Structure 1
Amino acid sequence: MKSAAVLAALTVAVTALPACGASEPTTAPAPAARTSGAADTPATADPTDAPAARAGLGGPGRSASPKPPVGAAPKAGNPNGGATVPAEARAVETSKPTRTIGTGTPASCTSEAVVKAVAAGGIITFDCGPAPVTIAMKATAKVRNANGPKVVLDGGGRVTLSGQGQRRILYMNTCDGAQGWTTSHCQNQDHPQLTVQNLTFVEGNSTGEKAEGGGGGAIFVRGGRFKVVNSTFARNRCDRIGPDLGGAAVRVLSQYENKPVYVVNSTFTGGSCSNGGALSSIGVSWVVLNSVLRDNEAIGTGANPAKAGTPGGGSGGAIYCDGNEFTVRLAGTIIENNDANEGGGAVFFVSNNRTGTMTIERSTLRRNPSGQFETRGYPGIFFLGARNPTVSGSTLR
């Protein structure tokens, strides 16, 4: 058992996540904007290699997830994006899995099997037969913090996990004692490293989930590292009202040393939440490459902090980012037809201490209405940071 001193330190760490957005205005400021064709994009920091994995838990899996069959649904993301994907952001090799869900038939691929495999960790693949399969999740799959350090869930392009409109699908939280504490600094540790790839997440719903502020209809992550590769998110939900909470598809907090969440070759559509109809975070950096965010909505009312007499929310139709020092880079990405009741129909970005930066490269942002406010010269974006967003080779309209 841990000593009382260590447990006390962990308790402090859990409660140390800062409240964000207190300085967020609810009317449109008008910083001097440059044209969307500005070509002075600053260099981004080179990512560092993830630590080497330990041997996986349990025996070897059956096989790698099969390749998508001929005639399968179109691949996720923007195939014409053209952004270079760094090694750290690419799909994880899964030819020698730690464990495999299923024994070759759809019936063998169950919610219980997914929950058990995710808890055990390691590199996880599926063997559900030759045809695409949807697994109706009866419970949220939760990562156990000691089982890794890598946890990879690879659907092989054939597997859909459905929350049935009733529950969150996947959960990882290094500061949740119920999942096991593995360090004395849960808010800043490099593991587990969770990757979801070649999967589809549909109808996740975290409505009513209050831990860590809620949000994350399909996936909630706090701590460690997280990335999404070649995956699709559709019709996910989180609470309809409230300031700060968000991420109908994905909500992320406290990434190790503020290393970015990578979202690569992925699609987010039909998400609905108070804020962040697709992605949401506090104090987290993002790199979104060759992806598509379309037809998502932020439906809260009253912005953040909430106006008197309102419940708050309604910002970031596709992406909602709040906190202090963090960055957002969009490259080769399409963000279109998203909507925010308040600010940032495409992207809402508030760096409270004005150190955060945003870069948009070879991307298209179009038809993303902001109901009440956005930054002049940047259609669909509300931005407060170190300087105006840097835009190159992109269309904003």
Structure 2
Amino acid sequence: MRVKSAVVLVVLGLAGATLPACGSDEPAGPRVAAPVAATGTAAPPSTTPTPVPTARSGLGAAPPSPSTPAFRAGNPAGHAAVPAEARAVDTSHPTRTVGTGTPASCTSAAVVKAVAAGGIITFDCGPAPVTIRMTATAKVVNAHGPRIVLDGGGKVTLSGGGERRILYQNTCDRAQGWTTSHCQNQDHPQLTVQNLTFADGDSTGDRTEGGGGGAIFVRGGRFKVVNSRFVGNRCDRTGPDLGGAALRVLSQYENKPVYVVNSTFTGGNCANGGATSSIGVSWTVLNSVFRDNRAVGSGANPARSGTPGGGSGGAIYCDGNEFTVRIAGTIIEGNRATEGGGAIFFVSNNRTGTLRIEHSTLRRNPSQGFETTGFPGIFFLGARPPTVLSSSLTR
């Protein structure tokens, strides 16, 4: 499924600079040149922050030994409250375990088999951190579950080896089982990844459902990421609307949000969305870090004449109609887009979507083509200007 963006020119910002919307076939408008800082003054939310569980925290796990470096992900200085449904899943009673206590027992085949079977999946690969190089993509079977949880305990890296996507869920893929007549809007499978590292995933050349999702591709059901790291993932370098070097997400149940909690995205590279990309999907991003990701396409969306398209959303790319994005307690820095939105590209074609940034820092996210006046690193078209509370947006 590909969602085409509307052709539109919108006058935005105090300077009245004309900037191209997602879908515009006009040349890019003037860049916003003057440094601008946007800092809200609203008081912090009154909700008492809830600590984000780390690797099996609260489940009786022993602390790391001195010889084992602690697993670190997300923004430890972020204090956004985490709702119950966004927290880590209790994996103290797993359905199945990958490995029998040694690194050699933790294989790609074992991961693929466990994901296909579904349920709560943990790893027993010995006391030291281990990297499992995937020789095939692990795919969710839609009739299994309904929950699929992968918990690496802070010691497991799943690697695509620069050759393949790591994890795949698609409720509309008949090869994975057709479970309802409304595949785009069903509440299962519910996929959670937690306490894991996803490294060197690469979906280049795979244009299923429009392409993208170098580490993880999800369409349908529900999806959640907790206390995880995404490092050096890739997808196609060109294309007007594909993206998500780490995550590509489509069609979540009843437009409920994808939760990204206490997680880190670094070194991603794709046509659009150097970290994440979605169409018509809402997101809630809490206490996380996006750093040094790149949107490297050229020509925007749709592609300008003579260009292959892409280049928007250095860290985050969101397109579609009615959806919301909330970012809280999060750092987005050092990302880059060759076209629009060095940090965030947000286009709601029917102008119903909203973007809210709370207690976050966005800095050094150059948009080499275009961005919205007054919001450094952001290109935005939606219901109203982004809401920015107690946050810093600077060049």
Q: Same fold (TM over 0.5)?
A: yes
Distance, in Å, in 1 between the alignment partners of 2:139 and 2:61 is: 21
Partner of 2:109: 112
Question: Are 1:69 and 1:131, in contact at CA under 8 Å, matched by a contact in 2?
Answer: no
Distance, in Å, in 2 between the alignment partners of 1:65 and 1:155 is: 13
Question: Are 1:192 and 1:224, in contact at CA under 8 Å, matched by a contact in 2?
Answer: yes
Distance, in Å, in 2 between the alignment partners of 1:69 and 1:337 is: 33
Counterparts of residues 1-397 of structure 1 (less than 5 Å) = 18-20=3-5, 22-23=7-8, 24=21, 25=24, 26-27=28-29, 36-39=38-41, 68-70=64-66, 71-397=68-394
Deviation at 1:75, TM superposition (A): 1.1
Deviation at 1:72, TM superposition (A): 1.7
Number of aligned residue pairs: 360
Residues 281-326 of structure 1, C-alpha deviation per residue, up to 9 Å, x if partnerless? Answer: 0000000000000000000000001101100000000000000000
Compare 64-73 and 352-361 and name the one that shifted more.
Answer: 64-73
Output the amino acid matched with 2:238.
I
Question: Are 2:264 and 2:288, in contact at CA under 8 Å, matched by a contact in 1?
Answer: yes
Question: CA, structure 1 residues 392+208, in 2 after alignment: closer, same or farther (shift >3 Å)?
Answer: same
Partner of 1:48: none
Question: CA, structure 1 residues 394+131, in 2 after alignment: closer, same or farther (shift >3 Å)?
Answer: same
Distance, in Å, in 1 between the alignment partners of 2:85 and 2:302 is: 36
Output the amino acid matched with 2:258.
V
Question: Are 1:64 and 1:126, in contact at CA under 8 Å, matched by a contact in 2?
Answer: no
Matched residue of 1:107: which SS?
Answer: helix
Question: CA, structure 1 residues 22+141, in 2 after alignment: closer, same or farther (shift >3 Å)?
Answer: farther
Distance, in Å, in 2 between the alignment partners of 1:387 and 1:20 is: 18
Distance, in Å, in 2 between the alignment partners of 1:371 and 1:76 is: 29
Deviation at 1:35, TM superposition (A): 6.8
Question: Are 1:167 and 1:217, in contact at CA under 8 Å, matched by a contact in 2?
Answer: yes
Output the amino acid matched with 2:39.
G
Output the amino acid matched with 2:94.
P
Distance, in Å, in 1 between the alignment partners of 2:297 and 2:31 is: 21
TM-score between the two structures when normalised by the length of structure 2: 0.88
Output the amino acid matched with 1:251.
R
Matched residue of 1:329: which SS?
Answer: strand
Output the amino acid matched with 1:19.
K
Matched residue of 2:184: which SS?
Answer: helix
Distance, in Å, in 2 between the alignment partners of 1:40 and 1:363 is: 13
Question: Are 1:21 and 1:322, in contact at CA under 8 Å, matched by a contact in 2?
Answer: no
Question: Are 2:146 and 2:189, in contact at CA under 8 Å, matched by a contact in 1?
Answer: yes
Gaps of 5+ in 2: 9-20, 46-58
Distance, in Å, in 1 between the alignment partners of 2:197 and 2:61 is: 14
Deviation at 1:227, TM superposition (A): 0.5
Residues 310-352 of structure 1, C-alpha deviation per residue, up to 9 Å, x if partnerless? Answer: 0000000000000000001000000000000000000000000
Matched residue of 1:188: which SS?
Answer: coil
Question: CA, structure 1 residues 243+41, in 2 after alignment: closer, same or farther (shift >3 Å)?
Answer: farther
Distance, in Å, in 2 between the alignment partners of 1:284 and 1:270 is: 23
Distance, in Å, in 2 between the alignment partners of 1:378 and 1:367 is: 12
Output the amino acid matched with 2:38.
S
Deviation at 1:379, TM superposition (A): 0.3
Distance, in Å, in 2 between the alignment partners of 1:28 and 1:284 is: 29
Question: CA, structure 1 residues 64+139, in 2 after alignment: closer, same or farther (shift >3 Å)?
Answer: farther
Question: Are 2:108 and 2:136, in contact at CA under 8 Å, matched by a contact in 1?
Answer: yes
Question: CA, structure 1 residues 389+125, in 2 after alignment: closer, same or farther (shift >3 Å)?
Answer: same
Deviation at 1:37, TM superposition (A): 2.6
Matched residue of 1:115: which SS?
Answer: helix
Distance, in Å, in 2 between the alignment partners of 1:64 and 1:311 is: 52
Question: CA, structure 1 residues 21+251, in 2 after alignment: closer, same or farther (shift >3 Å)?
Answer: farther
Deviation at 1:135, TM superposition (A): 0.1
Question: Are 2:31 and 2:369, in contact at CA under 8 Å, matched by a contact in 1?
Answer: no
Distance, in Å, in 1 between the alignment partners of 2:64 and 2:108 is: 21
Partner of 1:49: none
Distance, in Å, in 1 between the alignment partners of 2:388 and 2:281 is: 21
Distance, in Å, in 2 between the alignment partners of 1:156 and 1:348 is: 33
Matched residue of 2:327: which SS?
Answer: strand
Matched residue of 1:186: which SS?
Answer: coil
Question: CA, structure 1 residues 251+157, in 2 after alignment: closer, same or farther (shift >3 Å)?
Answer: same
